[in-house]
């Protein structure tokens, strides 16, 4: 009986200490939580944002961002510090990183800009300034200068279009391709 009374007294002291701690000046746990999701004049700002698109219980893509701003009036989500993963049955994952992005919430079309890097496996990489994802076509497009590395092949040009499911990629204008021997 003495142990039970001692345990209850100890638990009461710990809980009292925790309650006292949260009442101290400074940032409370409620303030820390509300700083992560903050209502703005036009929408909601979220930190450590994550969004996943699934169809028939299969993930098609997932996007992570340091900061996201949802604008319900424009039906868009603006992103900072973007990491996009596209899931392909043939290729596994396609990783895309960029400084910022914009999602059209209705169509799920996206555009990412700022030092965009796309990596597919160990063999294919693309660098450009801006890249668009067209959700209905499951395709990628760019109208900015692009650099593609694919094994021993180095391609530079302006404009890009790629269909992940078809394994088809096109560089459109001012194309310069170099093949180097291993």
Confidence class for position 132, pLDDT limits 50, 70, 90: very high
Tell me the average pLDDT across 106-125.
92
pLDDT value, residue 68: 95
> Per-residue pLDDT tens for 154-173?
999 999 999 877 778 899 89
Distance CA(63)–CA(57), nearest Å, equals 17
The confidence score (pLDDT) of residue 39 equals: 54
Spacing of C-alpha 45 from chain mean position: 15
For residues 70 and 80, is the Cβ–Cβ distance under 8 A? no
Q: pLDDT, tens digit, for every residue of 39-94?
A: 556 678 999 999 998 888 888 889 999 999 999 999 999 999 999 998 877 767 88
Instruction: Give the C-alpha separation, 106 to 100, whole Å.
Output: 19
Which pLDDT tens digit goes with each residue over 4-50? 443 444 333 433 443 433 444 444 433 443 344 445 566 789 999 99
């Amino acid at each position: 009986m003495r142990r039970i009374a001692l345990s209850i007294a100890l638990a009461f002291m710990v809980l009292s200490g925790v309650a006292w701690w949260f009442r101290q000046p400074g940032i409370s746990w409620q303030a820390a939580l509300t700083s992560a999701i903050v209502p703005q004049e036009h929408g909601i700002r979220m930190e450590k944002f994550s969004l996943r698109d699934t169809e028939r219980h299969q993930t098609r893509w997932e996007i992570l961002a340091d900061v996201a701003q949802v604008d319900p009036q424009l039906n868009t989500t603006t992103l900072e510090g973007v990491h996009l993963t596209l899931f392909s049955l043939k290729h596994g994952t396609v990783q895309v990183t960029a400084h910022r992005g914009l999602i059209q919430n209705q169509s799920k079309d996206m555009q990412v800009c700022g030092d965009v890097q796309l990596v597919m496996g160990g063999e294919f990489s693309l660098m450009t300034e801006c890249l668009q994802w067209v959700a209905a076509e499951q395709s990628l497009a760019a109208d900015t200068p692009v650099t593609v590395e694919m094994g021993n092949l180095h391609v530079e040009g302006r404009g890009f279009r790629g269909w992940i499911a078809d394994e088809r990629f096109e560089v459109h204008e001012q194309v310069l391709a170099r093949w180097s021997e291993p």
